[in-house]
Structures are given as C-alpha cells and as structure tokens.
C-alpha cells in the first residue's frame, strides 16, 4: 500500500428482470416502453454514480433509481447490500444487460479512487468525464454531452480544493453535492461549469474514504 494507490469499487450484486411486473413498474414510474430493469449494488456510491451515467451512453437505458446508503460500506444491512443501489430501465433485456455490463466495467476499470496516505484509509476521487450521459446531465441540470469533473475528497480539504479550482479557472459550481435519485425528484450533485463554452467540471464533497467507509 502506498500514497496514490489506485482503488476501485466492487459490484456486489447484479440482477436483470427481463419483464418487470407492471405494478412494480408503476412504483418505479417506468414508461410504457420500459419493460426490463437491471439492479446493481456496489460498495462505492460515487464510482457507481459515474458508472450508471456511462451506462446511459452505452445502451438505451435510463437511470430510474439511485440511492446511497449513508451508514457506509462497513455498516450495510447484509453482505451484498453495499453502499448504493441503482436501477436501470430499458425497452428489452438486451439493452438493460448492455447497460449493466457497461456500468460494471466502468466501476472495475475506470472509476478510480486514489489513496491519500500510506495505508489507503483516506482516498479522493478526481474523475473527469469528457461528456455526460442523461443521468449526470439531469443531476447537474446541464446539456447531455457536457464535460465535467466529478471530484470527491474529505470535507474540509475538498472544499478548500474546490475554492482553489474556482480561483484558478473560469468555472462555476453547477450543484454542490451528489446524492440520491428517485425518478421525478431532484437529485443532489456537485458540479462546475465553464460559462464561456458550456464545458463543465464537478467538484468535491463527501467522505473521502475507500469505498465510502466512515
């Protein structure tokens, strides 16, 4: 273990419902053309928020539910519960499966945390997304395809770094915190925007621990 070790989230449970019950669909507020859903539980919420956004770019899916469990990854209700649950909806099993595969691959290979100390107990997430999908665009209230940086660190240090970023570049905050999404509600998110050309960057919030552990 060493400073700047690469740290990754772990998908704990991945499930596909090919034909979702319509009563269940009504509670998820699915459209009539959304027949299939994919469920994903992961031990790291911020990695998952970026991964499900990636899924919306790689398949015909929509994020209809995403919720963090704020007790942290060490205090879940069970072995496969994780720190977050997300649900993707799509027209058929193939599209939803493609979305789940894209999200899982992103968590395992691209959504990289970095250790800030020798024992990996403190971490930060300096993540740049060249173009947003439908999920983070909705979260940040920005056009689909906007570049953002999704930044997470320990609260005090993260806010100091955010202030420094605002002073160093022509960027503004889109929204201060990432949080949960239930369809039809306003999720919380962090973001910066470049007002001259619409480019956006997403800033710091959250716990800054490996896997979001408190």
pTM of the predicted protein model: 0.83
Residues 96 and 159 in one domain: no
Residues 57 and 122 in one domain: no
- Which of 63, 89, 112 marks a domain boundary? 112
Residues 142 and 64 in one domain: no
Give yes or no for a contact between 34 and 151, defined as CB atoms under 8 angstroms apart.
no
- Other beta carbons within 10 angstroms of residue 162's beta carbon come to 20
pLDDT in tens, 120-168: 889 999 999 999 999 999 988 889 998 888 888 888 888 888 888 889 8
Task: Determine what percent of the chain is predicted with pLDDT higher than 70.
Answer: 76
- Which of 112, 137, 152 marks a domain boundary? 112
- Which of 91, 112, 133 marks a domain boundary? 112
Residue at 2 is within a domain? no
Write out the residue range of the structural domain in which residue 52 sits. Answer: 8-112
| Rounded mean pLDDT, 60-82 | 76
């Amino acid at each position: 273990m060493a400073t700047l070790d690469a740290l990754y989230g772990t998908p704990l449970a991945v499930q596909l419902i090919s034909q979702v019950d319509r009563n269940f669909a009504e509670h998820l507020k699915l459209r009539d053309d959304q027949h299939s859903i994919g469920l994903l539980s992961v031990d790291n919420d911020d990695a998952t928020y970026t991964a499900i956004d990636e899924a919306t770019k790689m398949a015909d899916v929509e994020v209809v539910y995403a919720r963090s469990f704020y007790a942290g990854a060490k205090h879940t209700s069970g072995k496969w519960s994780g720190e977050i649950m997300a649900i993707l909806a799509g027209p058929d099993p193939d599209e939803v499966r493609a979305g789940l595969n894209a999200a899982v691959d992103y968590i395992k290979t691209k959504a990289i945390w970095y250790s800030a100390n020798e024992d990996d107990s403190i971490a930060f997430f300096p993540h740049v997304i060249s173009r947003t999908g439908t999920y983070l665009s909705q979260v940040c209230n920005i056009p689909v395809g906007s570049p953002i940086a999704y930044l997470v660190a320990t609260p005090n240090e993260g806010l100091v770094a955010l202030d420094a970023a605002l002073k160093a570049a022509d960027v503004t905050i889109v929204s201060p915190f990432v949080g949960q999404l239930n369809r039809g509600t306003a999720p919380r998110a962090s973001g910066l925007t470049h007002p001259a050309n619409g480019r956006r960057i997403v800033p710091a919030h959250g716990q800054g621990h490996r896997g979001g552990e408190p």
